Amino acid sequence: MKSILIDLRMVRGRLHGIARYALELARRLPALAPDLRFMGLTAPEGLPEGLGALTPSLPLHRARADFLAPVREQPTLLADLLQLSPDLFHATSFSLPGLWGGKLVATLHDANHLALPENYSPVHTLYYRLIVGPRARRASALLTVSEFSREELAKYLGLSPYRIQVIAPGVDSLYQPPTPSEVAAFLHRRALPERYLAAVGNPKAHKNLGLLAKLAPRLPIPIVLLAGKGAARELGFPDSTRELTELPEEEMPLFYGAAQALLLPSRYEGFGLPALEAMAAGCPVIAANASALPEVTGEAALLVPPDELPAWSEAVLRLLRDDRLRAALVEKGRERASRYTWDACATRTLAVYRRILEKSPSRG
């Protein structure tokens, strides 16, 4: 029985889009392919608690060193791979095994380490140029999550775009519009106002949450920010802003479903999963007309230039005042989100594995 090792080392702390991608594959693939043996490689401390339904049931092995550790990662990752000896390793994030020559499927979600080097330390940018780029060119298969990312990766890594296959992420079935009673209970439990605008992300410059800090004083209802502890103060949000440090995964559909809209002003997104998750939960989306966001949202969102504050103010006020517009966006958004499923993502990824495994053996 051939074995596949899935990289879960980035699953730590607050759950982000890439971690969700890896977990969704890890929990679905074993059932889709009982003829294959799946394993997971976690951070040295193992998977965090509280993952709930996202917890994979496959055998887990703890890595010897932290994810993207500048000095220790590559030799210890080689040791992990030699010990586990998988027939195929799926590197689900930016950490690729530069010293291992086995069959490698690599998912690169975007090229922001190269497109936006000012957002990262010189060490991370150098890592991408010296490890990620060369190893990606020698990978058995390269995957990404959007046509935008495919073009960006091809440009910055000097590859033909046809070398990279697009397999979009999905939306979990957990994301459904909540009932009025569920909304009321959530608002009471989290001490949130009856009407608010949702914002998610982190303080990195390309997420552009600083624009929402400038927008907030112009709005008739507050923004509820989910971007990590202290993000509101760091980004200059007014006192009217409510900050949630984190939410358990099962409350995210409630967070979106209770909001009047999700505001997503990011200048650079390889995909933009929060937009789809909000749409699936019945939340209208106002997003930047930049990077992958127009590709992902289609005509189901209001799209605004990422740095035009008056245009953002106009779009939000229009949505808050026009119930028919809001209802239309909710309907279009739910239909759009239904096109993206994790089962389809896993099935297409499995097809890549099988194609690679059918080729002549290559062990590290």
* Mean pLDDT computed over 147-154: 96
Question: What are the domain boundaries of the chain?
Answer: 3-170+342-357, 180-337
- The percent of residues in the chain predicted with pLDDT above 70, rounded, is 98
The pairing of beta strand 223-226 with beta strand 197-200: parallel
- The percent of residues in the chain predicted with pLDDT above 90, rounded, is 84
Q: Which residues are registered as beta bridge partners of 286? A: 263, 302
pLDDT band at 360 (very low <50, low <70, confident <90, very high): low
Please choose, from the candidates 110, 56, 101, the residue with its C-alpha nearest in 3D space to the C-alpha of residue 77.
101
Flag whether pLDDT at 286 surpasses 80: yes
* Mean pLDDT computed over 331-351: 98
Residue-wise pLDDT for 288-302, tens only, equals 999 999 999 999 999
Residue-wise pLDDT for 77-129, tens only, equals 999 999 999 999 999 998 999 999 999 999 999 998 888 887 777 887 788 88
* Mean pLDDT computed over 43-48: 95
* Mean pLDDT computed over 24-30: 97
How far, in Å, CA of 16 to CA of 248, rounded?
12
Categorise residue 158: left if φ over 0, alpha if ψ from -120 to 50, beta otherwise: left
**Which phi and psi (to 5°) does residue 72 adopt?**
-85, -20
Tokens in use for 139? 């990978």
How far, in Å, CA of 88 to CA of 92, rounded?
12
Flag whether pLDDT at 261 surpasses 90: yes
Categorise residue 178: left if φ over 0, alpha if ψ from -120 to 50, beta otherwise: beta
Residue-wise pLDDT for 299-338, tens only, equals 999 999 999 999 999 999 999 999 999 999 999 999 999 9
Fold type of domain 3-170+342-357: Rossmann fold (3.40.50)
Residue-wise pLDDT for 165-208, tens only, equals 999 999 999 999 999 999 999 999 999 999 999 999 999 999 99
pLDDT of 361 reads: 58
pLDDT of 283 reads: 98
115 Cβ neighbours under 8 A, 6+ residues apart: 152, 156, 268
25 Cβ neighbours under 8 A, 6+ residues apart: 6, 90, 92, 342, 345, 346, 349
Flag whether pLDDT at 364 surpasses 70: no
Flag whether pLDDT at 215 surpasses 50: yes
How far, in Å, CA of 146 to CA of 270, rounded?
7
pLDDT band at 363 (very low <50, low <70, confident <90, very high): very low
339 Cβ neighbours under 8 A, 6+ residues apart: none
Fold type of domain 180-337: Rossmann fold (3.40.50)
Residue-wise pLDDT for 56-85, tens only, equals 999 999 999 988 776 789 999 999 999 999
Same CATH topology for 3-170+342-357 and 180-337: the answer is: yes
How far, in Å, CA of 156 to CA of 319, rounded?
38
Q: What mean pLDDT, rounded, does the chain reach?
A: 94
* Mean pLDDT computed over 243-260: 94
